[in-house]
Amino acid sequence: MQMKRIMWLSLLMVMLGGVGVPTGAQAATWHHGTPKHLRGMYQSTTPIGKHSAAGFAPVIEVKAKTFSLSISNNPLQLVKHLKYQHVHGHYQFKGTLQHIGFVLGGKVTFGLKKKGHSLYFVQNRHNNFAMPDRFKLTTHVKG
């Protein structure tokens, strides 16, 4: 009788043992919009002659719900319906690129990292929207 009780109790403990134990591995949460400390206007620090359309250096503008990239003589690249998550020291974004001119619309993913007053695109295999430039925070665009 005592042996049966011990077996049932040990079986019950084995079955219920995994229920209350937290795993510790949680997926990063996706948030709507953009983080406040990334918002602002940034201009590329790459010399203008390095770009094929050499009217002015590329400009990024990060607003509360949109991200835009403008390059001289090209249509604005506007990303709406943004969501972001903080992963491995940078922000990973996903959103919808608007169809403007010859810029085809569709789903895009990109990563941004901010160091001081500079903003960098994070290059990896999941990102399909990026530039190799360093962008410096500015209050106006220098032409």
Domain of residue 80, CATH code = 2.40.128
Matching residue, tokens 């943004």: 82
12-27 pLDDT tens trace: 565 665 555 554 455 6
Q: Which of 20, 80, 67, 6 is nearest to 39 (CA)?
A: 67
Q: What are phi and psi of 2, to 5 degrees?
A: -65, -40
pLDDT tens-digit readout, 25-38: 556 799 999 999 99
132 domain-assigned: yes
pLDDT of 59-114, one tens digit each? 999 999 999 999 887 889 999 999 999 998 999 999 999 999 998 899 999 999 99
pLDDT surpassing 80 at residue 128: yes
Residue 131 pLDDT greater than 60, yes or no: yes
Q: Show the domain range for 119.
A: 30-137
Nearest Cα residue to 78 out of 88, 70, 86: 70
Residue 3: pLDDT band by 50, 70, 90 thresholds?
low
Of the listed ranges 42-51, 76-85, 112-121, the least confidently predicted one is 42-51
Its pTM stands at: 0.74
Whether 18 contacts 105, CB under 8 Å: no
Please check whether residue 7 lies inside any domain of the structure: no
pLDDT score of 57: 84
In-domain check, residue 12: no
What is the structure's pLDDT at 139? 82
In a domain, 19, yes or no: no
Per the structure, the count of domains in the chain is 1
Structure tokens at 52: 């094929």
Structural domain contains residue 18: no
